[in-house]
Amino acid sequence: MQIKSAKFFTSAKGASDCPTWELPEFAFIGRSNVGKSSVINMITSKKGLAKVSSTPGKTRMLNFFVMNENWSLVDLPGYGFAKGPRSEKIDFNEQVGNYIEQRTNLQMMFVLIDARREPQKIDIAFTSWLSATGVPFTLVFTKTDKQSAAKTTANAELFLETLTEAVGVDPNAIASSSKTGDGRKEILAAIGQVLDA
C-alpha cells in the first residue's frame, strides 16, 4: 500500500455538507490533542497537510483529503474539548456522530488513544458507542516515542481488557508515533486490506 498523492479537498461542518463522492473513506478520531492530524501527516509523509497544534481543539471541522485520487482520509475534530460556547461543543460532537452513523462510504475508523495513559472513561465510552454503530474500527495508541515499549504495551492491554469487559469487542490495535513513523506500515496495511477486499 503506497500513497502516491495526497491532497486536501474540503472542510465540512457536518454530515450535510460532506463531499457527495463515493470514495472509500477512512476517518481518524480521538480526544483533542491525541495526535489525529499528526498521524495523517505521518502516513502521507506530508508535514503540513493536516493542521497540527499543541493547543487542544485545533481541528474544528471534518477535513477531507484525497489519496491516490481514489480513496479518502478524514481528519475529524477531537472529542472531549471544544473552544467556544457549550452549545457549539455539543452541536459539534453531534455533527461528528451524524457523520459516523450516516456516511455510507465510511469504511473504517481509526480511534486514537494516548498510549501514555491508563484507560480513560471518555475513550471507553466513545469506543463502546462506536462498537454499537457497526462501523469497523482499529485502535491506534499514539505518542509511543514518549515512553518505553513496555509501558505502551501495558496501557494498550489494559484498554483492550476494559473495552472487552464493557462491550465484548476486541478490536485490532496498532502502536504509533508520528515522530518516529512507528505504526505507519500497519495503518497503511489496514487500509490496504479494506481497499483490496
Binding-residue total with Mg ion (CB under 5 A): 4
Q: Which of 53, 147, 164, 172 binds ligand GTP (CB under 6 A)?
A: 53
Cell of 181: 513513523
Q: Which of 59, 138, 142, 155 binds Mg ion (CB under 5 A)?
A: 59
Counting every residue written for the chain, the total comes to: 197
Cell of 20: 457527495
Burial class (CB in 10 A: 0-12, 13-18, 19+), 23: middle
Which is closer to ligand GTP, CB of 173 or CB of 195? 173
Under the binding rule (CB under 6 A), the answer on residue 83 touching ligand GTP is no
Under the binding rule (CB under 6 A), the answer on residue 34 touching ligand GTP is yes
Are 118 and 155 within 8 A, CB to CB?
Answer: yes
Q: Cα(131)–Cα(39) distance, rounded to whole angstroms? A: 22
Name the region of 193 (left: φ>0; alpha: ψ -120 to 50; beta: rest).
Answer: alpha
Q: Which of 6, 35, 73, 187 binds ligand GTP (CB under 6 A)?
A: 35
Cell of 61: 471541522
Under the binding rule (CB under 6 A), the answer on residue 37 touching ligand GTP is yes
Name residues contacting ligand GTP, limited to 106-165 (CB under 6 A). 142-143, 145-146
Which range of residues in 89-97, 101-109, 156-164, 176-184 is near ligand GTP by CB under 6 A? 176-184
Q: Which of 18, 44, 58, 63 binds ligand GTP (CB under 6 A)?
A: 58
